[in-house]
A and B are shown apart, each in its own frame.
Chain A
Amino acid sequence: MIRFMSLLVAFLMLFSLVGSSALAQVDQNRVRNRFAAELEKTDRVIEQARMAINRSNTAYDAEYLRVANRQAEELLRKAEAHQNQARVLNNTNSSLTDLAYGGKLTVMARELALKAIAIKKRAEGKVEENEDAILRQLEKTDRLVEKLREKAPASIPDRLKSAFDTALENQRRAWELYHERALRASLKLSRQAEKSLLKLGEHLRSENMENQRLQNQIIQAEQKLEQFRLDIQECNSDEALELLNQADEKLKECYRYLNENENERIQNSLKHAQSFMQKAARLCSDTESLTRALNKLEAEIENHAERIIGSGNNAAIGLLESAQQHLKDARSLCDGGDNQACAARVKAAQMNLRKALKLAGN
């Protein structure tokens, strides 16, 4: 038993000795790998710092940028020195203490390289901007110019023309400054030009919307005019016909003014056109005209009734009956002096009769 216990203790001691040594080896490998990764990371930052320093300097404010460059260079040189020291420690003979020291060195080197980049970026930032950012701004403003010019130069009203020209002029100058490498000034000027163009665009847009609204009104008035033309066929009034022709002339005027962006004139012509149409409508809705229309419609219904019934189409027959009912109602409304309601019933009767004839195959 004692022998067994001794053997067990010896085995455990041996195991712990071998185990701790193996564990220490594992730990050292992990630190070594981590150190190599950190070194590589710092190499990458140093490379970027070198690129940043070697990147563009401009003719402008060269003295200031040169000083900044020298500062950045100095820091980068220190970073490279630290990194080289750290690199020496990256070998298989290095102890854990060496590796930890090397890690510290490479992190310091990285911080210095990052500072070098920051100095360079800041130096450029004072007098410069990122070239891509400027280019994007210039192109953005150019696209805005395009948008405003989209409908040909005449779409820019005279009162906005000189402001538009000034904005264009500033955008052109912004491009020139960009070409001369005065990037910050270029950016500011282009942004200011963009601001002007956006404001002008806002006004143009609201004017265009007004223009669109007027165009819709003209289209509606045209549709109304067409309807009146149909209506006065029943009314048989030359005077009403003449009024509608005048309304038509006014609507043509509206289109002419629309092209010239003369919104006030459009509104006037629209008013006139509507007034002519209302007069025509009044002429055709007086008692005499309505009675004439009623009689004419009654005769029409009588003429076509037999044919519609003969067609055997139930829908057509239903519409015919409905037309007859509307006619009857219209007559009593007219007799009662309610011309407006009478005219509406006449209209309904006419529509029913036309539809019935269509369904009956006429």
Chain B
Amino acid sequence: MHIFKFSALVYILLIFLLVDMASGEESGAFTFRAGLGYDFVSQEYFIDSVRLSGGDSLLELSLLEKDYLDDKKALLFLRYQPDLKGQYILEGGWEQTTELFRASGRGFLALGDNNNQLQAEFIADTKKRYRGEIEEGEEMTILDGTIKLKRQLFEGLSGRIRLSGESVNFDTSGLYIYNYSRLGGDLDFNFITGGYNSIYAKFGLEKRIVPDTVQLDYNIIRGGLGYLGSFLTGLASAEITVESKKYNQLENPDDYFLTSFQADLKLPMVKSFSLIGNLDLENYDFDEDNYINEDYRQAHFGLHGGWQNGDLSLSLGPEIEFLAIKSEFKNDDDYFEFYIHAGLDYFREGIFIFLDNQVGHRKYRNNPLFYSNFIFDRLSLIGSLTIFEDLNADLLLSGEWEWHSVESDNSRLYLLSLNLTYTF
């Protein structure tokens, strides 16, 4: 009963697509995507906790393992895209695991050319459990819509306005699981200078509305200024952003003002070698002076040597990160992290592999009460392989290992997503 109730939209869409397809016009514009997949997200961590029972306390150390996702799934999607430019797309599909199913539909429309364009997108998604016990927040329906208008205002200057809305509704809501809607708007200006460099400015507003409790409503205002283009003999991008978030509640400890700066640089050196640099700075200023959210500054800097030969590129170099918390608590969690980053990208028709590995050390500077220094390895692998014509395998793998000076702080995190899809 639930299936029909909540998937009505998708059925309508599928029926529309099939009827349209049956009319025989542009049958080449229809594609089916069928596939199998496996998703796994798991975390292992040790817990040392003092179990309190009466006047006695007992130190207890145990390894906990939490599998957030462990789903084998099958999927079938139908897509209608009448021309190659993708100006008009309707897509509907079904995805099922051994316990859950998800039905989704998507519509996309774009009118105009690259200079003056109107884009609209609508997504409907519903997820239900058909076997086993329903957990809070698990069953939900999401409706999402965006409309964008891009216009060439003058020679070299374009503007874009974007309005969006999202509604998330849970079948069973709880203390911390609540329905909400988000409404937002952005205004961007992009100025193309000679040499095709781009300077842009953006401004955005967002409002979250939680019908059950107005105290969880919030407003976000954000603005930014950026550059993307040539720098010295290479390419660079830089962006400064400010953001303010305010809850609909007096003196909410989560209200903040964020200033961030992000820059990337790639300078070709000799032959196939290049120098790659990146810098990220963040400053969080929470409105209320409290001990739950403390103001902090975070900085990250990396400098790599890059080498490219045809389809293969390699990079290697050091990166550092530090966190400085403005705290009255002398044992605060300030840290300094250093690691070596190694990357391999292989990209050619039918196959690509992006492999990243970071090995390093994090040192907490003020001997915090509950954190200990650790050595880590963070591995990430993203790959795609065309096995045969339209049969594709995609892989996303991530692992994080932390070996702490206090063994009970060790933790591991694994993430795997594997998909085999056939498009016809």
Chain A residues near B (Cβ < 8 Å): 44-45, 48-49, 51-52, 55-61, 64, 67-68, 70-71, 74, 114-115, 117-119, 121-122, 126-127, 130, 132, 146, 151-154, 159-160, 162-163, 165-167, 169-170, 172-173, 175-177, 179-182, 184-185, 188-189, 192, 195-196, 199, 203, 212, 259-260
Contacts and interface: CB of A to CB of B under 8 A. Distances in A.
Contact of B370 (A51, A122, A259): A122
A188 B396 contact: no
A68 B49 contact: yes
Contacts of A61: 64, 66
Given A51-B292, A196-B382, A166 B419 contact: yes
A276 B45 CA distance: 70
A189 B41 contact: yes
Nearest to A110: B328
Contacts of B300: none
Given A152-B87, A179-B168, A184 B43 contact: yes
B246 interface: no
B371 A159 contact: no
Contact of B47 (A60, A64, A114): A64
B114 A132 contact: no
28 contacts: A44-B290, A56-B175, A58-B176, A60-B66, A64-B49, A67-B52, A71-B49, A71-B52, A114-B291, A115-B369, A118-B369, A126-B47, A127-B43, A127-B66, A152-B85, A152-B119, A163-B382, A167-B396, A175-B142, A176-B140, A179-B137, A180-B135, A180-B136, A180-B137, A182-B68, A192-B396, A195-B356, A199-B382
Contact of B52 (A70, A130, A179, A182): A70
Interface stretch (B22-30, B267-275, B343-351): B343-351
Interface in B360-404: 368-371, 380, 382, 384, 386, 392, 394, 396, 398, 400
Nearest to A196: B382
B51 interface: yes
B415 interface: yes
A185 B69 contact: yes
Given A48-B253, A56-B175, 4 more contacts: A67-B49, A132-B245, A179-B168, A188-B415
B138 interface: yes
Nearest to B77: A165
A184 B421 CA distance: 28
A181 B175 CA distance: 11
Contacts of A60: 66
B321 interface: no
Contacts of B68: 177, 182, 185
Contacts of A189: 41, 415
A337 B139 CA distance: 87
A160 B349 CA distance: 9
B384 A163 contact: yes
A182 B290 CA distance: 26
A59 B292 contact: no
B398 A119 contact: no
B382 to A, nearest CB: 5
Nearest to B351: A159
B276 to A, nearest CB: 11
B170 to A, nearest CB: 7
Contacts of B4: none
Interface core residue of B117, B368, B417 (most chain A CB under 10 Å): B417
Contacts of B417: 166, 169-170, 173
Interface of B: 39, 41, 43, 45, 47, 49-52, 64, 66, 68-69, 81, 84-87, 89, 108, 110, 114, 117, 119, 125, 127, 135-138, 140, 142, 162, 168, 170, 174-177, 196, 245, 253-254, 256, 290-293, 329, 331, 345, 347, 349-350, 352, 354, 356, 368-371, 380, 382, 384, 386, 392, 394, 396, 398, 400, 411, 413, 415, 417, 419, 421
A132 B254 contact: yes
Contacts of B125: 172
A331 B126 CA distance: 83
Contacts of B138: 180
Nearest to B347: A203
**What are the 3 closest A-B residue pairs judged by CB atoms, nearest first?**
A154-B86, A185-B68, A153-B86
Q: Chain A's interface: helix, strand, loop or mixed, by majority?
A: helix
A240 to B, nearest CB: 34
B174 A59 contact: yes
Contacts of B43: 127, 184-185
B374 to A, nearest CB: 14
Nearest to B254: A132
Nearest to B290: A48
Nearest to B104: A172
Given A132-B256, A151-B114, A203-B347, A49 B396 contact: no
B384 A152 contact: no
Nearest to A260: B84
A248 B142 CA distance: 52
A23 B278 CA distance: 61
A67 B52 CA distance: 8
A212 B386 CA distance: 28
A57 B396 CA distance: 30
Contacts of B66: 60-61, 127
Contacts of B413: 184, 188
A233 B305 CA distance: 55
Given A154-B84, A163-B394, A179-B140, A199 B415 contact: no
A259 B85 CA distance: 8
A188 B398 contact: yes
Contacts of A70: 52
A114 to B, nearest CB: 5
Contacts of A55: 292
A185 B41 CA distance: 7
Nearest to B95: A169
A51 B162 CA distance: 38
A22 B81 CA distance: 91
B41 A188 contact: yes
Contacts of B254: 132
B114 to A, nearest CB: 6
A162 B356 CA distance: 20
Given A71-B49, A117-B292, A163-B384, A169 B419 contact: yes
A212 B196 contact: yes
A195 B85 contact: no
B23 to A, nearest CB: 24
Nearest to A203: B347
A331 to B, nearest CB: 42
A67 B51 contact: yes
Residue from B43, B170, B368 with most neighbouring chain A CB atoms (10 Å): B43
* Interface-centre pick from A45, A118, A160, A212 (highest chain B CB count, 10 A): A118
A61 B347 CA distance: 41
Contacts of A259: 85
Given A67-B51, A185-B41, A188-B413, A199 B136 contact: no
